[in-house]
A and B are shown apart, each in its own frame.
Chain A
Amino acid sequence: DAKTTQPPSMDCAEGRAANLPCNHSTISGNEYVYWYRQIHSQGPQYIIHGLKNNETNEMASLIITEDRKSSTLILPHATLRDTAVYYCIVRGLYNFNKFYFGSGTKLNVKP
């Protein structure tokens, strides 16, 4: 599975959009991009995933570049409850049960 690179931490003002980048330059054609987040003292929680098209759900939007080498998770209106570590994971279609989490990005949402 392709590895990912994320900034270790980011700050965001409450109510503003949080844009979390992820680099996955070695991604292959059948690998999906997943995002999970982990709030302090809890287990990771699924947010969204995509292959090549942009995706949106009730939690976030996922923007994948055309060459698929990077992506951005967008939380449109960050709240204090969105303070967490966000993991970008690339997972192969045929190795779909194994996730490599990496160290993630600690998002600090500030009032």
Chain B
Amino acid sequence: GQQVMQIPQYQHVQEGEDFTTYCNSSTTLSNIQWYKQRPGGHPVFLIQLVKSGEVKKQKRLTFQFGEAKKNSSLHITATQTTDVGTYFCAGPGGAGGTSYGKLTFGQGTILTVHP
């Protein structure tokens, strides 16, 4: 079935440093979503990317969707302690990466920020 691989598994940064997590799929995705889960919390939807080469920004967060729609990245500029948590990418779980209804989540990147 559809899988999305996410790296790195862990990332420790000093407050103020940048952070990037990467998501890769073996098949073309119709869209990709990103979620954040705070420690002890539940995943919260951040954004969805649909177009090839799309770049979206949310304050210090920059999301990219690859030209081939097989990879994506989340970049955080100048991390803050409030950025702590696990960041997940998720792609459609149907054959060919097209089924919107079902999402397959990556393993997530756990971000810790040292003040």
Q: Is B a genuine binding partner of A?
A: no
